[in-house]
Structure formats: C-alpha cells, structure tokens
Amino acid sequence: MSTTTSRASRLAAGVLAGSLTLLPLTACSFSSDNLSCSGSECSVTLSGNGAEVEILGTSLALGGVQDGRASLSVGNASVSCAQGETVSAGPLTLTCTTVQADSVEVTASLG
C-alpha cells in the first residue's frame, strides 16, 4: 500500500470518527416556531395544538392550553404546567416560562 493511499485512509477515518463524536452535540432539532439551544438546555415556543419539536433527543408536543395551563406530551408521558412552573417528565426538566391562549414557551434541560 502506498503512503498516499494509507494517509488518505487515515484522514477519512479521522473525519468519520470526528463526525460521529460531534453527533451527540446536536442536541436539538426542530419543526416548530422558535428553538434555541445552549449546551444541554433549550428554549422553544410551541404555537397551536399539536405543535411538536424534538428537543434534547425527546419529543415534546403541545396538547393545548386551558385555564392558564399548558398540556404537554414528553415522549410517552403527559404533563401540564402553568407559567413559571417547573415539571419533570422522562429525561427532561421543563419550565413553562410563558403560557398564552394558544402557545407555550418552554425551557428544557436534561435531568
């Protein structure tokens, strides 16, 4: 095997390993209104019943808002929270920072 081929193989393997190492750092992916992440904490605004996002590897959906409480599906769990309230569901700790008639702003963190 030539030195050039060997070097190219090592480079390709290094790039692949680096890509796989960085993959878990992409903690949040979304299909909703607003999402921002910093480290292991993400903030998202879900607007409208059924709005859904994948956040920190867990599905989060807004079921609706009634009497100032947002109903949320977190993976297979269901929780509700009022503005300023913090709840835990599955691997996430959620704080409902703003609850409006048809939307909720949530800050999520692991643990």
Distance, in Å, from the CA atom of 8 to the CA atom of 78, rounded to the nearest integer, reads: 50
The 10s digit of each residue's pLDDT in 22-58 is 444 445 544 445 888 888 899 999 999 999 999 889 9
Residue in the structure block whose two tokens are 């960085």:
22
With 0.75 as the threshold, say if the pTM is over it.
no
On whether residue 14 sits in a domain, the answer given is no
On whether residue 70 sits in a domain, the answer given is yes
On whether residue 20 sits in a domain, the answer given is no
On whether residue 12 sits in a domain, the answer given is no
On whether residue 6 sits in a domain, the answer given is no
Q: How many domains does the chain have?
A: 1
Q: Token digits for 72? A: 């949320």
Q: Assign 8 to helix, strand or coil.
A: helix
The pLDDT-based confidence of 111 (bands split at 50, 70, 90) is: confident
Angle among Cα 45, 51, 57 to the nearest 5 degrees reads: 75
Range of the domain at 50: 27-110
Longest CA span, the chain: 72
The closest of 46, 91, 98, 97 to 72, measured between CA atoms, is 46
